Amino acid sequence: ELDGGTQPMVFGGRSDAGGEACTGCSRQCTGSASDGVRAMQSCPERAEAMADKMVKLVALRRAANRTRKLAVVLFNFPPNGGAAGTAQFLAVFDSLHRTLVRLKAEGYDVEVPANSDEVRRRVIGGNAMQYGQEANVHAFVPADRIVATEPYLAEIEQEWGPAPGKFQSDGKNVLITGAQFGNMFVGIQPANGYESDPMRLLFDGRFAPTHAFMAFYRWIRNDFGAHAVIHWGTHGSLEFMPGKQTGMTMSCWPERIIQDLPNIYLYAANNPSEGVLAKRRSGATLVSYLTPALTNSGLYKGLSDIKASVDRWRATEPGSSDLPGLEEIIREQAEAIDLDSSDISQLAAKLYEIERELIPQGLHVFGDAESEDARIDMLAASAQARTSGLGGAGEAIDRDTIEKLINGRIVPNTPVLIELAKLNAALSVNHEMNGLIRALDGRYVPPVAGGDILRDPEILPTGRNIHGFDPFRLPSAYACRDGAAQAERILDRALEDAGKLPETVAMVLWGTDNLKSEGAQVAQAMALMGAKPRFDSYSRLAGAELIPLEQLGRPRVDVLVTLSGVFRDLLPLQTRMLAEAALLASEADEPPEANFVRKHSLSYSQEHGCDMATAALRVYSNAEGSYGANVNLLIDSGGWTDPNELADTYEKQKGYAYGVDGKPNRQPGLLASALKTVDCAYQNLESVELGITTIDQYVDTLGGISRAITRAKGGEAAPVYIGDQTQGSGKVRSLQEQVALETRTRTLNPVWIEAQLKYGYEGVRQVEAAVTTTTGWSATTGQVDPWVYQRISETYMLDEAMRQRIAEMNPRAAAKIANRLIEAAERNFWQPDAETLAALQAATDAIEDQLEGVAPPTTMAA
């Protein structure tokens, strides 16, 4: 796994010599070493599975290109909102069209439609309306056949009722959606079934994929006869199905679904952790793809007007008679765009922050090299990142110089220019398609560690099999120093806002972010507690130790750590280290006022009548084989009335404490006590492409815990902070500031909007994701300014031309935006005037009529 090997699997091990049945798989073998010797032996089920996988891989390699059959799996998450055929950072249909063209040239017997729109129309259009589905219905799998052949029928029926179930079915058959292009079938992965009703997961611990999910993969294997399956972009839900964390067996759903099918997975190069899980739990060979080029947000409309006034104000002599008039203008201009003008110097700093914020330019087309413009932007972003700290020493480099460098008009003669020239060369070519072709030949795809292009340009060229890196080295010495500085920054900000040092900070830790930063967030949690990692004589992580209080110079701050399921899977040593740090601090013979960890543990131990080892539990995550808090699903479905329901699902999902033995134990009572002591909640932002309104997992984890804290504290919310580490040496923002910044630099910014809408259908889905996620922050924290909804409404719905444009590109997503804004008003996240609300209602009606085919599709207003 660490070297980028494909299909990591466990096929044997040492028996424990007790003669007891092995519970790892369905065969229940007993150990053969009855003489007490711990003998190596293979597990027959796994050995056969490995052989089967190799047979299929050989068959793939031997099949002539013209006979090779490929099943591409697209995703549809969340379902029912114009997300069918979208993936993170990827222009899915353009990428598919390019691939069909290349495969044809390689001799595959595929049909190549005229353009990517045609591919999209065939896949998500076709007869979809007729069947009330989100994509074309390509095949039917009769219930009788499912009943006669599905080996896991009983488990599936227990959860979803008699076959074919109600998801993606007509009552008699499961409907397979997608379209076929010669020897390539492009299908849509069915929903996992819980999205529309996540509360279901709370009431029974069982979980099984739907009839439709199983039937889809069986159809691909048995009916279509695929030689290989290609999962098209980051990411689907197969590899997150329940089962063991590692060493899958036939008792695990991912293995039951994928079995021996060669699995190729296009994966964003910046997401090593979820990528590693795709390898670990679904035997995937990853083929990495580039994230979109970055550019500065810049200023637009009212923002550029006010910048001009502020510049003039700065150039005006103090005491000049022009000043009062100028300040009046600035106040008016600021008010018009919801900016605070009480301190004009601070306003100037805010404008600079907005202007310089890096934003992604649309989506990436698989296999495409970057254009000259995009390379100029990327090199400028890279230079900016270096000068401000990411790469250490550097110098500001203007675009003019970069342009000359790219065109060979200057010779790179400084270390920074040499680096930029290398980056330019690496971005001028793209090997992704070659990587895919090699994988389809069943051949070796060279490995590379995943990471961000600004921090780790070594991820280029993409088109390689990404992997994580050695977890024994994490947190690194650099991360410990950096993490300690970050911890002080968060304490400074919390102190400034609250007037006292926080006793407990709730921190959310992700796997990807720690892999990218060598463990900076783990180090931060350790620093807050006044602890550091302990390494053995081989420099491998061995546990935690305390920093003496005299050296720390402040009290030990308590930390309530919640781990993503991904972190829990990838970083077990770090999970135990954090638990050990909390235990050591709890046991330290120190005065409680200088050690908040101990102070709280003493009180929990009294309150719950438990021992210190239990009272010291501070690291929480999901149950084994479970991921996420489901708060995002509830937000998306809109299926909640009381915000306490959000807290319920959060605590239910994340209520498993991981102690020094690394094992999960459900501890709802202790978690509730710990939540009560929290003074602020916090998460880092480590991926420059992402914002907290871009994907819904920040709301799921940080928003979820914030809502749980508010409930635990009897309705009193704790401040929520974001540690933005994506530019410079990092910056702590309140949640309100972060949402405002992202709204201005992305959701309302014509540069961002046009870059998204260039990809039509998929771009509108990105806008919808931002709007829905923004409402998630209101729901969980209540810290989103009302102007955000007003301006989003004006930009996308009250502007007639824009509304028609997005409704035509992706009517489902456009309708969802309109409905979401109305839902936000109903939930009192903002209070639109009657006229605005009526206009929103009219917009929804118009789009929904169009969706139902009542009115002919509107054309662009002249």
Nearer CB in complex with ligand BEZ: 174/735: 735
Q: How far is CA 113 from CA 96, 122, 266, 809, in A?
A: 10, 9, 22, 19
Q: What gap in Å lies between CA 704 and CA 292, rounded to an integer?
A: 29
- Name the minimum Å distance from CB 508 to ligand BEZ: 9
User: CB of residue 695 vs ligand BEZ: minimum separation in angstroms?
Assistant: 7
Per-residue interface string for the shown chain with ligand BEZ, residues 798-837, x marking contact by CB under 6 A: ----------------------------------------
How many CA atoms, within 13 angstroms, populate the side-chain half-sphere of residue 666? 7
Please choose, out of 238-246, 563-571, 599-607, 647-655, the segment that lies near ligand BEZ by the rule CB under 6 A. 563-571
Closest CB 123 distance from Mg ion, rounded Å: 33
Q: Which of 110, 479, 566, 631 binds ligand BEZ (CB under 6 A)?
A: 566
233 binds ligand BEZ (CB under 6 A): no
- Distance between CA atoms of 466 and 697, rounded to whole angstroms? 22
| CB closer to ligand BEZ, 566 vs 817 | 566
Q: Which is nearer to ligand BEZ, 567 or 596 (CB)?
A: 567
Q: Which of these ranges, 397-405, 504-512, 746-754, 835-843, lies near ligand BEZ under the rule CB under 6 A?
A: 504-512
DSSP 548: P
What are the C-alpha distances in Å from 452 to residues 272, 289, 459, 551? 10, 12, 7, 35
Q: Kindly report the number of other CB atoms within 10 A of residue 653's CB atom.
A: 24
Strand pairing class (358-360; 720-724): unpaired
Residue 45 is a binding residue for ligand BEZ (CB under 6 A): no
> By C-beta, is 46 or 279 nearer to ligand BEZ?
279
Which residues, 6 or more positions from 286, have their beta carbon under 8 angstroms from its beta carbon? 265, 266, 267, 275, 278, 279, 445, 465, 466
- The reply to whether 270 sits near ligand BEZ by the rule CB under 6 A is no
Closer to Mg ion at the Cβ: 424 or 773?
A: 773
In whole angstroms, how close is the CB of 387 to Mg ion at the nearest point?
A: 17
Number of residues that bind ligand BEZ (CB under 6 A): 9
Interface residues with Mg ion (CB under 5 A)?
A: 726
Three-state SS string over 342-397 comes to CCHHHHHHHHHHHHHCEEECCCECCCCCCCHHHHHHHHHHHHHHHHCCCCCCCCCC
Integer Cα distance of 519 and 475 in angstroms:
4
> Which partner from the list ligand BEZ, Mg ion, none does 710 bind, CB cut-off 5 to 8 Å by kind?
none
Residue whose beta carbon is closest to Mg ion:
726
Q: Pick one of ligand BEZ, Mg ion, none as the site partner of residue 770 (Cβ within 5 to 8 A by kind).
A: none
Stretch in the footprint of ligand BEZ (CB under 6 A) among 173-181, 377-385, 390-398, 510-518: 510-518
567 binds ligand BEZ (CB under 6 A): yes
263 bridge partner residues: 229, 284
Cis peptide before 164 (omega within 30 of 0): yes
* Interacting residue with ligand BEZ among 150, 195, 255, 274 (CB under 6 A): 274
Question: Segment near ligand BEZ (CB under 6 A), from 137-145, 211-219, 492-500, 559-567?
Answer: 559-567
Instruction: Give the one entry of Mg ion, ligand BEZ, none that residue 836 binds, where binding means its C-beta sits below a cut-off of 5 to 8 angstroms depending on kind.
Output: none
Please say whether the dihedral angle defined by the alpha carbons of residues 459, 462, 468 and 470, taken in this order, is positive or negative: negative
Under rule CB under 6 A, residue 366 binds ligand BEZ: no
Distance CA 608, CA 155 (A): 38
- Binding window for ligand BEZ (CB under 6 A); candidates: 298-306, 351-359, 506-514, 519-527: 506-514
Secondary element (H or E) of residue 178 = strand 173-181
User: From the CB of 454, what's the least distance to ligand BEZ, in Å?
Assistant: 18
Residues 393 and 355 sit within 8 Å (Cβ to Cβ): no
Is residue 273 involved in binding ligand BEZ (CB under 6 A)?
yes
Please give the radius of gyration of the chain, using alpha carbons only, rounded to the nearest integer: 27
Name which of 192 and 726 has its Cβ closer to Mg ion: 726
**Shortest separation between residue 726's beta carbon and Mg ion, angstroms:** 5
Rounded Cα gap, residues 805 and 819, in angstroms: 17
Burial (CB count <10 Å: 0-12, 13-18, 19+), residue 203: exposed
Cβ atoms within 10 Å of 117's Cβ, excluding its own: 15
Q: Output the smallest distance, CB 297 to Mg ion, in A.
A: 9
Please, which residues bridge with residue 289 across strands?
A: 268
First to last CA, the chain: 56
Contacting ligand BEZ within 693-712 (CB under 6 A): 697
Q: Between 566 and 748, name the residue whose CB sits nearer to ligand BEZ.
A: 566
**DSSP conformation class of 457:** G
Q: Exposed, middle or buried: residue 292 (CB in 10 Å: 0-12, 13-18, 19+)?
A: buried
When asked if residue 512 is in the footprint of ligand BEZ (CB under 6 A), the reply is yes
Which secondary-structure segment (H or E) carries 467?
strand 465-467
When asked if residue 510 is in the footprint of ligand BEZ (CB under 6 A), the reply is: yes
Neighbours of 802 (CB within 10 A): 17
User: Binding of ligand BEZ at residue 769 (CB under 6 A)?
Assistant: no
Which 3 state secondary structure label does DSSP give 294?
strand
Please choose which of ligand BEZ, Mg ion, none residue 273 contacts, taking the beta carbon within 5 to 8 angstroms, the exact cut-off set by kind: ligand BEZ
The one of ligand BEZ, Mg ion, none whose footprint includes residue 339, by CB under 5 to 8 A per kind, is: none
Pick the closer one to Mg ion by CB: 167 or 300: 300
507 contributes a contact to ligand BEZ by CB under 6 A: no
- Could you say whether residue 564 binds ligand BEZ (CB under 6 A)? yes
Name which position in 85, 463, 511, 704 contacts ligand BEZ (CB under 6 A). Answer: 511
CB-nearer residue toward Mg ion: 189 or 684: 684
The item of ligand BEZ, Mg ion, none sharing an interface with residue 274, based on CB under 5 to 8 Å by kind, is: ligand BEZ
Give me the least distance between CB of 825 and ligand BEZ, in Å please: 29
Q: How far is the CB of 693 from Mg ion (least distance, A)?
A: 11
Task: Show Cβ contacts of residue 111 under 8 Å, excluding neighbours closer than 6 positions.
Answer: 100, 181, 182
For ligand BEZ, which is the closer residue by CB, 568 or 733? 568
Q: Are 490 and 721 in contact (CB under 8 A)?
A: yes
Q: Are strands 263-268 and 70-74 parallel, antiparallel or unpaired?
A: unpaired
| Closer CB to Mg ion, 133 or 726, in the complex | 726
Shortest distance (Å) from residue 377 CB to ligand BEZ: 25
Residue 507 parent element (H or E): strand 504-509
Rounded distance between C-alpha atoms, residue 762 and residue 757, angstroms: 8
Which of ligand BEZ, Mg ion, none is residue 675 near (CB under 5 to 8 Å by kind)?
none
Which runs of E-coded beta strand occur in 202-332?
228-232, 263-268, 284-289, 294-296
Residue 641 Cβ vs ligand BEZ, minimum distance, rounded to whole Å: 27
Largest CA distance in the chain: 99
Q: Match 């790179």 to its residue by tokens.
A: 412
Considering the complex, state which of residue 705 and residue 839 has its C-beta at the smaller distance from ligand BEZ.
Answer: 705
Which residues on neighbouring strands pair with residue 733, listed in sequence order?
A: 722
Which residues make up the interface to ligand BEZ (CB under 6 A)? 273-274, 510-512, 564, 566-567, 697
